Amino acid sequence: MIEQVFHLDRGDSKAIEKVVFDENVHYIHMIFPKDDGLPVHFSNSNVYMTVVRGRLSIILNDQEPHVYEAGALLKIPVGTRMNVSNRHTETLELIVVKAPAPV
């Protein structure tokens, strides 16, 4: 078999899965219940964030909070301060791709 197959968590409990984490790309699957998210941090690569389900609440640098619904794809430049969270009742599910992969 030439291809590699990866399976993503399908639940509602908090999960941060480093699905593909190699020298080419970091592909991360995240699930956050209400009032959960990531610690405030700076992006260490270009970040492509897809909202799979729920609504993402995000503050970038000094901007006001923005809310994005399922189907939104955000492109966030390297070095951006990020505050990523779920402030809504529905479970938030994200796919995060970092390219190029941070060193």
Q: What is the pLDDT of residue 103?
A: 85
Tens of pLDDT, residue by residue over 10-29, are: 999 999 999 999 999 999 99
The predicted model gives 34-47 an average pLDDT of: 98
Strand partners, 2: none
The predicted model gives 87-101 an average pLDDT of: 97
Q: What is the pLDDT of residue 33?
A: 98
What class, spelled out in words, does domain 15-98 have in CATH?
Answer: mainly beta
pLDDT mean across residues, the chain: 97
Q: Are 75 and 46 within 8 A, CB to CB?
A: yes
Nearest to 43 by CA among 81, 89, 90: 81
Say whether pTM exceeds 0.75.
Answer: yes
Phi, psi of 85 (to 5 degrees): -155, 165
Q: Are 63 and 57 within 8 A, CB to CB?
A: no
Name the CA radius of gyration of the chain, rounded: 14
Say if residue 46's pLDDT is above 90: yes
Q: Greater confidence, 7 or 103?
A: 7
- Determine the distance from the C-alpha atom of residue 102 to the mean position of all C-alpha atoms in its chain, rounded to a whole number: 15
Q: Quote the DSSP letter at residue 38.
A: P
Tens of pLDDT, residue by residue over 54-71, are: 999 999 999 999 999 999
Q: Are 48 and 82 within 8 A, CB to CB?
A: no
Residue 41 parent element (H or E)? strand 41-42
